[in-house]
Amino acid sequence: MTAAVSLREVSCVFRSSGKSVHAVDRVSLDVQSGEFFTLLGPSGSGKTTCLRMIGGFTLPTSGSISIHGADVSQLPPYSRPVNTVFQDYALFPHMTILDNVAYSLMVRGVDRSTRDRRALALLETVQLPEVAHRKPVQLSGGQRQRVALARALISEPKVLLLDEPLGALDLKLREQMQSELKALQRKLGITFIFVTHDQHEALSMSDRIGVFNKGRLEQIATPSELYNRPSTRFVAEFVGTANVLHGADAKVFGNASTIMIRPEHIRLELGTQTPTESIARVEGRVQEVQFFGSFWRVTVQRPNGAESLLADLAVHSAPQAPSVGDVAHLHWDDAAIHPIEDRDSVAP
């Protein structure tokens, strides 16, 4: 089966102050037709440059990019069967919403009645038919985001590229739009390639995620695989919160030289009395407590200078915050321990 988008050994090298900077370094990946695929990574990791190369806004220094089997590596954006939604939406302020959505059809010479009909149908799809004759300034951020989606979809692209389109929204609206965006993608069946630095956004929306670091791909996996079985230390620490221990500190957890255990997989009991479980794997003292609504995140300092551990304690089992200095007993199941490769980035 031909992938919707394929990258093969794609690199992008910029010149800066007389030096070569590898913004993207030998990236290979396949995005399947109808997939919601996310490029995730910190600022400067190469994810946006990768998206721009797929869209044709930046040309690769080497390697090839194919869309549904056709090599588009050197084609300009208007010759590729893709469209892009940017973070700032880039709506024309002097045009009505209807004209904004229909703009690409107008440029192609489609008659007024046809483009208005198609634009109205898309505004129905994004649940905004009532704003057709308003101007962008009269809409909320979430509404403008949906208008930008409709405008990108009217040309019927085979692939829709989304460059951090939710980044300008407040948290509540962003969470609402995450759900709406995923539902829209399922309804339309179009391949979405989504760029974000927000791990929670990526985990909640994606079919698969590619994690970028220093221009390279660290790992490609489903959200659950990425969270529970990260392949490198960078992925373990970037995606979610993790205790990552190396060397002598890791030996408490088994034979691997580097291990990861998530805070929610550590059971914590407080007090100087004998713990209810027969053997505490680790004992220490509470060093710091953070409140996250449904749980307390407790930092436990282990004795003899060993690295501290994070453990999550459900609020329903401990309505009052643990006190700094409390004795803490930590327990875990062997299945919660995940060995990882202790390296900063993928090997060449």
Residue 346 reports pLDDT greater than 50: no
Reading the block at residue 218, the tokens are 């660290």
140-162: average pLDDT: 89
Share of the chain above pLDDT 70, in %: 95
Residue 273 reports pLDDT greater than 80: no
What was the pLDDT predicted at 26? Answer: 96
- Does the domain at 243-339 match CATH 2.60.40.1220? Answer given as no
Q: Which residue intervals of 82-216 are DSSP H helices?
A: 97-107, 112-125, 141-153, 171-188, 199-205
Query: What is the location of CATH 3.40.50.300 in the chain?
Result: 5-237
Cα separation, 11 vs 9, whole angstroms: 7
66-79: average pLDDT: 94
CATH architecture designation of domain 5-237:
3-Layer(aba) Sandwich (3.40)
pTM: 0.88
Query: What is the location of CATH 2.40.50.100 in the chain?
Result: 243-339
What was the pLDDT predicted at 231? Answer: 93
The pLDDT tens digits of the residues spanning 291-335 come to 999 999 999 999 888 889 999 999 988 888 889 999 999 999 889
The dihedral built from the CA positions of residue 269, 275, 276 and 282, taken in this order, carries a sign that is positive
173-192: average pLDDT: 87
Share of the chain above pLDDT 90, in %: 64
